[in-house]
Structures are given as C-alpha cells and as structure tokens.
Amino acid sequence: MGKIEIDPLRWKEEVLKKYPKKVAKKRDKGILVHDGEMPKQIMANVRSIPGIITARGCTYAGCKGVVLGPTRDIINLVHGPIGCSFYAWLTRRNQTLPPTPESENFMNYCFSTDMQDSNIVFGGELKLKQAVREVFEIFKPKSIGIFSTCPVGLIGDDVHAVAREMKEELGINIFGFSCEGYKGVSQSAGHHIANNTLMKHVIGRNDTAPEGKYKINMLGEYNIGGDAFELERIFEKCGLTLVSSFSGNSTIEQFERAHTADLNVIMCHRSINYVAEMMETKFGIPWFKVNFIGADASAKSLRRIAEYFEDAELMARVEEVIAEEMAIVKEAIETVYPRTTGKVAMLFVGGSRAHHYQELFSELGMSTLSAGYEFGHRDDYEGRRVIPTIQVDADSRNIEVLTIEADETRYRPRKTDEEIAALNAKGCGFGEYDGMMADMAKGALIIDDISHYEMEKLIEIYHPDIFCAGIKEKYCVQKMGIPLKQLHSYDYGGPYAGFEGAVNFYNDIDMMINTSIWKMIKAPWQVEPVIEAEYGV
C-alpha cells in the first residue's frame, strides 16, 4: 500500500472544522506543521479542553505515581478517598532492585487514609495523623511522604502542618506534597511539586560521598521496564559511579547525598530540568542533557560524560565499552533493518519520550511523520532558548518557585567558567536543550496534547505503520488495524534504554510491524477509499 501525499496543513484544516469555534481557535495553536527552519511557537502546557478526551493525567499522578513512585524506601501515604491511591498502585511498571531480600521496599504497597464522608465534612487531619503513626509503627520507615488529593485542598486539611508535627513526634523525615489533582495542567505540575519537595526536604542531608572517581547523578530516568538497570550496567562497565538516580531504582538515602556527585545528566528534560538548575546554583554541579534512547545516542552521551571528566583513562574505557556493545547492536540491526526501513511512525507520549524515541526509529530506517507530547512545555518542543518568553499563567503560578542560593558549606563549583567554556567548545552543551522540533523533518505534524479525535483522524488519513502512545490509546488504534507500541509501559517489555535496550526495541518493533495478524485485519481505508478521494491532492 503506497502512502498518499496529503498536505498536513489540509489535514489540520479538516480537523479543526469539527470543533466549535473557540475550541478550534485554541487547538489551532497546539498543532503545527514544521517548516524545517527555526521552530515556530507552539501552544503547550495549557489546560485541556473539557469534553475533549485527553490522555493527560493529574497533578497527583505526576507527583505520587511518577516521581516518588519508583523510590523504594519511602512510605507514600495518600491522603484522600480510596480511588487515587488504588489507581496509582504499581501501575507505572517502574522497577526496583533492593540489594537484599530484607532491604526496605514499600513499592508493592498502596497506603491510603481512605477518606469517608465524615472526613470530608469534619476534616481529615486527625485520621491522617493516626495513619502516619500506624505506618510508622508497623514499617518503621526512614521517611514518609504525604500526598494530597483533590478534596484535601478544598476542605483545608494542612498536610504540611501534620507532616511537621509528625516529624517531631516520630523523629523521622516526614514531608507533605500539595499535589491536589486540579492544581495543574497535567502530571507535569505534579513532577514539579514533587521535585521541589525533594529539593527542600531531602537533597543535601547526607554529606558522605560514595567511593568512586567519576561520580554522576542521573536525572529524569524512571526505570520503566528496567531501563535504569541497563544504564547502571553500562555505567559500571565504564567505571562511572552513579550516586543517585531521580528516581528509577532509587532510595531516599541516594537522594540525600545526590549533592556529592560531580555531574548531573538529564534524560527527561520535562520532569526535572529545574532540579538540575537548582542543584547547580546550590551545590555547583554542572548539568547537561543526555539521551540513552538509541544506540548511537547512548554512545554519544557516554562520550560527553567522559569528555566532562577530562580523563584519558575514562575516555579510553568508554571507547572500549562502546566498541564492544555496538558490535552486538550492529548485528541486531542488520537482521531487522530490511524489514523496518521506510516505515512510518507517529509518537504521542511523555514530555521527552516522543523526542527520544525518534532516535531509535531512525536507527531502524523509519521516519517520524507526526509527534507530540502529552504534558510537555514549549521548551521541550522549541528548545530552552524560549524559556524566558514563556507566559506565566494561573496554573503555573500554582507551583511554588523556590529561591535557591549557594549552600554555605556545600557549594563547590566543579569546573571554572573557563573549563566550562572549553568543554562547551568540545560539544558538552551545558544547560542546553534544543527541543524536539529541531530534530524533525520538514512537513512533520507537531501536535501538543493530541485529543482522541485528532488521533483517529491522523491514523485515518496517514495510515502510519506504527503508532506510539499508551494503554488508553492502544485498543482504539489497533481496532483500526495499526499496531500501537505502548511507550509509557513498553507493552510490559523493555528495557529499551542503552545498548541492550536498543536491541530489544529493534526486535519488538520488527515483531509488531511484521506480525502476521495485521494481514487478517482490513483497515477501514482498505475497505472504503472514500476519505482518500476527499483529501487527495
């Protein structure tokens, strides 16, 4: 089946026609056709429209589920009615590996104050205090996080006051999160609230640095499908010491000494870039963006890390590792490539994944015709240069802006300005991120917070060979005869990061695209050519 050339501007026009005027006006700014030049302004991180079915989650989901979810030695107590805690119970498939079977691991639990009618009317603080005492009594954790759900903010329960009081009473670190579901545009607000809280209450509490010559933190890696395990394997092979990972396979203890690392590398720009900035100001740790999705991208990222430490031994070791790993990658790609090359992908996921995974597809010889984020901001599309021009709206004002100053005793610049400049000249790219659009081809459709309806229209007109999104979209898309790769949970596969991950991804995509089942399904346009006639140019 040949691809039909359809002007993406025409597609956009047709889609917008279906919306009421005001909605069309708003969606118009969230859908762009990339002209291959300097990225144009996209409307992102704005409220989804009521009744337009979005894939976005809530602030609570981003805070409890995404950021603190993968940390195994903290008790995450959800203050609210039961649903919120239940739905976030091990649903993200972030993995963890406690060093021994006896080591603390509370990730399998779902703790809730299970608010009832009477708590809504008379207040839930007493119940919350009692719940904190109970979990402490039973599990003796090192720390407890208290998460607010929608009604908590409304009835005025003060989780922070309860946290302070309980911290005093029980003598462990207890802190609250004002992450009520309605607070932000998407889960992105929750990431921010979570990370701010870690910055305020956790990072910097323990000055014992782990052993190791090249110490780094990995920021914005959540160990979905074991991605962090693969990266840990590679780092160890290279001789790098991972002080902490935010927050895949993490512990509170690691967070507490994160400031002892000498470099922060960022995977998911969206969920955590501000922490890297704050840590640079407070502790003097430089940061740059990396990407370990894609074998070539992984090699490039490793080289930049080695470059940073300016150590010939490390550079040599990294080259050895890359050579060794790439031999296996090359073998895998040679088998798969003839079956995947020329195919078309679409990606609508995350705040960074829709960008990162384009690397893997291009290694497979596949192009990305359309992409967009679920909860990205303008800088994730257009690059960090636009940050000063992003308008602050009511929703972003909901998120506390921390005033960070250099720590009196812990601030230690790792590099001089001259060294930074020299490394930048070599391509280290400190504090830089050019965003997704810079890497996309001319004519690509960039769609922020794609609605269900737009997704259906995209598939109907462009017939991609694979569509990447999440479980909520999976069965819709597959009913249309197109394979959908879940890039939130990896379809329960993975890891896809690093070198072994790349090989897994090649094989999984080959399997999905070329499986015999699609031959049994006639896609709607194979039955009814009407739409092509309508749109054909």
Q: Do the bridges between strand 143-148 and strand 173-177 make them parallel or antiparallel, or are there none, so unpaired?
A: parallel
> Nearer to another protein by C-beta: 354 or 480?
480
Angstrom distances, CA of residue 113 to CA of 106, 163, 251, 393:
16, 14, 24, 33
Instruction: Report the nearest approach of another protein to the CB of residue 108 (Å).
Output: 6
**Residue 131 Cβ vs another protein, minimum distance, rounded to whole Å:** 4
- The residue type at 530: V
| Minimum distance, C-beta of residue 250 to another protein, in the bound complex (Å) | 22
- How far is residue 6 from each of residues 11, 343, 440, measured CA to CA in Å? 7, 17, 18
For residues 343 and 466, give the distance between their C-alpha atoms in angstroms, rounded to a whole number.
8
The DSSP secondary structure of 38-96, one letter per residue, reads SPPP---S-PPPTTS------HHIIIIIIISTTBTTEEEEEES-HHHHHHTSS-S-B--
Among 436, 439, 430, 441, CA closest to 379: 436
Dist. CA 29–CA 12, nearest whole Å = 11
Residue with Cβ nearer another protein (27 or 415)? 27
For another protein, the closer of residues 77 and 265 by Cβ is 77
Residue positions counted in the chain = 537
194 classed as catalytic = no
| Interacting residues of 83 by C-beta distance below 8 A, sequence separation 6+ | none
**Cβ at position 522, least distance to another protein in Å:** 6
Q: Of 500, 498, 64, nearest to 242 (Cα)?
A: 498
| Catalytic pick among 72, 79, 93, 191 | 191
Region of 193 please: left (phi>0), alpha (psi -120 to 50) or beta.
alpha
92 carries an active-site annotation: yes
Q: How far is the CB of 22 from another protein (least distance, A)?
A: 8
The Cα 423–Cα 421 span in angstroms is: 5
- Shortest Å distance, C-beta 110 to another protein: 5
The distance from CA 39 to its chain's CA centroid, rounded to whole angstroms, is 22
Q: Which is nearer to another protein, 76 or 254 (CB)?
A: 76
- Closest CB to another protein among 146 and 306? 146
Q: Cβ 52 to another protein, closest distance in Å?
A: 5
Q: Which residue has the tokens 């960090």?
A: 384
Is the Cα torsion angle 122, 123, 129, 130 positive or negative in sign?
Answer: positive
- Annotated active-site residue 61? The verdict is yes
Per annotation, catalytic residue among 10, 24, 47, 92: 92
Taking a C-beta distance cutoff of 8 angstroms, is the pair 447, 54 a contact? no
Tokens of residue 207, six digits:
């000055």
Looking at beta carbons only, is 54 or 247 nearer to another protein? 54
- Is 505 within 8 Å of 485 (Cβ atoms)? no
Side-chain half-sphere CA neighbours of 173 within 13 A: 18
Other Cβ atoms closer than 10 A to 404:
16
The beta strands (E) that lie in 118-234 are given as 143-148, 173-177, 214-221
Closest CB to another protein among residues 290, 399: 399
- Is 384 in the active site? no
Quick one: which H or E segment has residue 423? helix 417-425
Closest CB to another protein among residues 386, 523? 523
Least Cα distance to 73 among 42, 99, 45, 37 occurs for 99
- If the CB atoms of residues 135 and 333 are measured against another protein, the closer one turns out to be 135
Report the Cα 246 to chain-centroid distance in Å. 11
Report the catalytic residues: 58, 61, 92, 191
